[in-house]
Amino acid sequence: MVTTQNSDDDHLKEECGVFGVFGHPEAAALVALGLHALQHRGQEAAGIVTYDGEQFHTHRGMGHVSDNFGSKEVIGQLTGHSALGHVRYATTGEVVLRNVQPLFADFEFGGLAICHNGNLTNSYHLRRQLVRRGSLFQSTSDTEVIIHLIATSLKSTVEERLVDALRQVEGAYSLGALSQDGLIGVRDPLGVRPLVLGRLGDAWVISSETCALDIIGGQFVRDIEPGEIVLIDRAGVHSSKPFPRAKQRFCIFEYIYFARPDSIVEGTNVYEVRKRIGAELARESHVPADIVIPVPDSGVPAAIGYAAESGVPFELGIVRSHYVGRTFIEPTEQIRHLGVKLKHNANKASLAGKRVILVDDSIVRGTTSTKIVEMVRNAGAREVHMRISSPPTSHSCFYGIATPERDKLLASRMDIAGMASFIGADSLAFISMDGLYRAMGLPRRDPAAPRFCDACFTGDYPIPLADHDAGKVSVQLSLLAETA
């Protein structure tokens, strides 16, 4: 989901995880555990809605899952055999609690909770139409657009209304919904974001990633397919595909960075892919060196693959504190800088006098790489060669991964030699697009029909960007100002 941009913040905030359970007496506790395993997908707010056969219960709050759902009292109030939860990245401040998902609304057919992972690319347009027709918005989240589209739909069942709403929506979304009748999971027609179906005994589960099935001892059943709606009720799982068929364009950045390495995404283990990318990187751009070290944690699997392929020893030359969140997910530029220092420390004993190959997953603004290269040099490294397990991030993501605007992306401002000197490395290389596709088990990237969404590297956006093309990126704020 997307929220309004702040003036002091230069990136969109839309990273999320979805987890739902149907048919278990401890549904809320299971969802809290599932969300905990999805915490990497969004660390600033969490929410759970349950249904107990008569009424809905909800608890939502800013902060980590454990901050909000760590107590027996809270979980105890969330009674019912079905539950839906969400973790997200959010801005700070009171107003924003209204945006914490799942959003809940009372319709003529009863209550419905909704949350999603992804980003709608025409929500400004839809919202404007809805406001003109009299919809009163309570939040600035694009998920609420879906709620109003459901409310204004003339169809009769929840599922038909949801389909009606989603037919008007453009964007990437994996959505969870909880009604009196059951739990619903939907993926957008291109299947950009992940969503899987699982089981726990007789109960059914939907989850953004399989690592969250593991935490509750659940079984993976299958990926929910692109354009598929699964409706889970007492009779079981009902599947439909009401949208026009399209070729899948799964987000390749989920494999590179975003998903957890122990997840199986679209049939492929994320850790294995990351190691294969590292091996490709070694084949493409190896330089003589004494040690390969990762930027932990995200660079670790690729560095293992790189070291194995090149024969250069793998060392943990940088130690990461696990008590700070992801660097990127910090509210201001100053804090982001501080975050890098808080997070990483060089292990001088393993670096002094060495020629170092430093492996990380991506360069976005260049903040992390610049700090880390300096840190490794200060620890006595003789040479520092940076190897990146993604192609240069040259374009912003509008489909649900937080990225700065294009002019803040280092790769959109300079070529590789310029980037190398900016970050202070002796050499810099990125995996090639074809190398990345090879790591995914394909011979190369077919420009006529790419298998994945790789827009952040190519600018090839598979879903129209109506709001962006109309200059409406700070969607909700401008609209609120307009209608105030």
Rule CB under 6 A: is residue 402 a binding residue for ligand AMP?
Answer: yes
- Which lies closer to ligand AMP via its Cβ, residue 181 or residue 361? 361
Q: Which amino acid is at 392?
A: P
Residue closest to ligand AMP, measured at CB: 328
Both tokens of 153, joined, read 């739909």
Question: Which residues have CB under 8 Å from 26's CB, separation 6+?
Answer: none
- Which lies closer to ligand AMP via its Cβ, residue 153 or residue 403? 403
CA–CA dist 371, 55 (Å, integer): 52
Q: Which of 257, 306, 430, 457 binds ligand AMP (CB under 6 A)?
A: 257
Question: Which residues have CB under 8 Å from 464's CB, separation 6+?
Answer: 121, 122, 170
Interface stretch with ligand AMP, choices 121-129, 196-204, 363-371, 467-475 (CB under 6 A): 363-371
Tell the smallest beta-carbon distance from residue 301 to ligand AMP (Å). Answer: 12
Tell the smallest beta-carbon distance from residue 11 to ligand AMP (Å). Answer: 8
- Judged by CB under 6 A, the chain residues 316 through 345 that form the site for ligand AMP are 326-329
Tell the smallest beta-carbon distance from residue 363 to ligand AMP (Å). Answer: 5
Omega into 361 within 30° of 0, i.e. cis? no
CA–CA dist 482, 471 (Å, integer): 15
Count residues contacting ligand AMP (CB under 6 A)? 20
- Concerning whether 211 is annotated as a catalytic residue, the answer is no
Rule CB under 6 A: is residue 256 a binding residue for ligand AMP?
Answer: no
Q: Which of 99, 117, 174, 367 binds ligand AMP (CB under 6 A)?
A: 367
Please name every residue paired with 179 in a beta bridge, in sequence order, or none if there are none.
112
Rule CB under 6 A: is residue 365 a binding residue for ligand AMP?
Answer: yes
Rule CB under 6 A: is residue 399 a binding residue for ligand AMP?
Answer: no
Q: Which amino acid is at 110?
A: G
Phi then psi for residue 247, to 5 deg, are -75, 135
Rule CB under 6 A: is residue 362 a binding residue for ligand AMP?
Answer: yes
Q: Which of 16, 115, 251, 397 is catalytic?
A: 16
Q: Are 40 and 95 in contact (CB under 8 A)?
A: no
CA–CA dist 16, 8 (Å, integer): 22
CA–CA dist 483, 26 (Å, integer): 43
Residues in the chain: 484
- Judged by CB under 6 A, the chain residues 216 through 255 that form the site for ligand AMP are none
CB atoms within 10 A of CB 427: 15
> What x-and-dash track marks residues 368-397 binding ligand AMP by CB under 6 A?
xx----------------------------
Nearest to 438 by CA among 446, 429, 428: 446
Q: Which of 291, 364, 411, 479 binds ligand AMP (CB under 6 A)?
A: 364
Q: Which of 146, 224, 277, 401 binds ligand AMP (CB under 6 A)?
A: 401
Both tokens of 367, joined, read 């903040």
Rule CB under 6 A: is residue 295 a binding residue for ligand AMP?
Answer: yes
Alpha helices in 205-269 (DSSP H): 211-215, 252-253
> What x-and-dash track marks residues 93-132 binding ligand AMP by CB under 6 A?
----------------------------------------
Q: Which residues sit at the interface with ligand AMP, rule CB under 6 A?
A: 257, 295, 298, 326-329, 360-369, 401-403
Catalytic residues: 16
